[in-house]
Chains A and B, each alone.
Chain A
């Protein structure tokens, strides 16, 4: 004769079933934790790599721009203070400063007196820079033209422009 056993007291499925639920819950939590942590770590890694890559790209871009930039001063008119420049480099150049000063005096540095004049790369025509600043004194003179790659030029940020600026010099008897 079979005994009536309440379901919750069934030795076959009562206490054993409860233990199984806990285990499953634990496994689910473990799974969720692993997935969550994994995704978070993945996101962090992607973010770090992305930002690092961006910064790296910018640094390399500036470095490469310096390698590609090349401006030459071809001729100077001391009467009209006009300087003719050309760009045999590979990047367009933005002129930010042009000065003519006696060779015996120290360089006046970047004066921001010629802003935003773009000299196209590998141009077959020279560009005349009008408005070069002339400093008094006896000859010989040094002509100094500061420039940066055009794509790095930011008219709103002169300090940053000067950080990446290159210089072309020309001596005039």
Chain B
């Protein structure tokens, strides 16, 4: 009896130990094994996803047609899958490179595109680039979370600038009036396009000429010329007979507006002598001849130094043949004052008991003090005269 009871306790104890073993340790081991297995699977699948993500390679090319028909798509993005995996593109953004923001704050394309390995897929993106001007870049977002970008492109009103304007229209304006503003406005007709469509230029000299070039497509354009905001009348035009003038590219490449030449009226140059008021006998002194060209002058004037020197008349107490003049300013601009000549002269010794004398310097009126740079016309000058007192030196 005793032997049997002890055996039961031992058996129960063993049974409990076995139960503990099978209900805790074994499940724990199995659970940990399954967790480890799950973790390994997750790590592996993450690694596989990362490898797939890194393997993705998508190239974006932007293609624009130089066609100008608004109804047909002109810009498309080509997606080229150069990886061995199928790439699912979920979105395409169009980014404004200058501001760093998506154009329209929304994706350009918001539908899924599958690009099989080695394939090209072309999608039209006209809707999202419509009217956009600036530098843009397309970014494709793949299902695996990669971003692929295109090279930045320049767009003008929703079209690619490169190749958009294959022709050049040149507009020339001849004989502009100094100080006036000239505006060239170009109106494309039909499907034609041109850039820029308006340019304003201010003439800085009389009868100035300019030639401006505009990028354009084939087509017909009306070219308008305005002077200081007013359309130039045909009476003021030597050519063409109308304003605006119609130009059709590529048959004609330029438009030339020849304005009637503005007559240049010479103005009188103001001449002044700048000299000391008194000098000592026997002393050498300097005086200058100063020229002022009025602001009303239409052109620059070249100074005729020889004529001015020839017009100098000197009388009084001075030594003969001591006058020497050096040219300074070569050209006068409207509204400017310049020293034209710097001269030197020697006062004579006072004879007898005279304590004082005088020298009078006169520059006569000239008909050709200067010559107009553009017109070649002579510019007259007025007369000027000054008297210098000559004093006896002390101790003599």
Contacts and interface: CB of A to CB of B under 8 A. Distances in A.
Contacts of A45: 20, 23-25
Contact of B12 (A34, A57, A68): A34
A135 to B, nearest CB: 16
Contact of B6 (A20, A27, A80, A124): A27
B147 A72 contact: yes
Contact of B39 (A41, A42, A64): A64
B107 interface: yes
19 contacts: A24-B1, A27-B6, A27-B9, A30-B5, A39-B16, A42-B19, A45-B25, A60-B38, A64-B38, A64-B39, A67-B42, A72-B141, A74-B147, A77-B101, A84-B102, A86-B141, A124-B90, A124-B112, A125-B110
Interface string A22-54: 011001001100110011011001101100110
B1 A20 contact: yes
A86 B112 CA distance: 14
A116 interface: no
A126 B42 contact: no
A82 B102 CA distance: 10
B139 A30 contact: no
Interface residues of B, number: 46
Contacts of B35: 56-57, 60
Chain B interface, DSSP helix/strand/loop, else mixed: helix
B42 A64 contact: yes
Contacts of B394: none
A27 B6 CA distance: 6
A138 to B, nearest CB: 13
Given A27-B5, A38-B17, A53 B91 contact: no
> Which 5 A-B pairs have CB atoms at the shortest separation, nearest pair first?
A38-B16, A27-B5, A88-B145, A77-B101, A45-B24
Nearest to A89: B145
Interface stretch (B26-34, B160-168, B192-200): B26-34
A74 B106 CA distance: 11
Contacts of B39: 60, 63-64
A49 B101 contact: no
A67 B112 contact: no
A76 interface: yes
Nearest to A74: B141
A123 to B, nearest CB: 9
Contacts, number: 119
Contact of A31 (B12, B24, B95, B105): B12
Contacts of B32: 56
- Counting contact residues on chain A (CB < 8 A from B), the size range is 35 or more
A49 B27 contact: yes
B384 interface: no
B9 A67 contact: no
A1 B16 CA distance: 56
A63 B10 CA distance: 45
B20 A41 contact: yes
Contacts of A24: 1, 5
A24 B1 CA distance: 9
Given A42-B16, A45-B20, A74 B93 contact: yes
Nearest to A168: B145
B203 to A, nearest CB: 41
A34 B141 contact: no
Nearest to B2: A23
B59 interface: no
Contact of A68 (B20, B46, B105, B143): B46
Nearest to B35: A60
Contact of A78 (B5, B38, B99, B144): B99
A88 B90 CA distance: 10
Contact of A42 (B2, B20, B49, B101): B20
A172 interface: yes
Interface in B75-126: 90-91, 93, 95, 99-102, 105, 107, 110, 112
Nearest to B45: A67
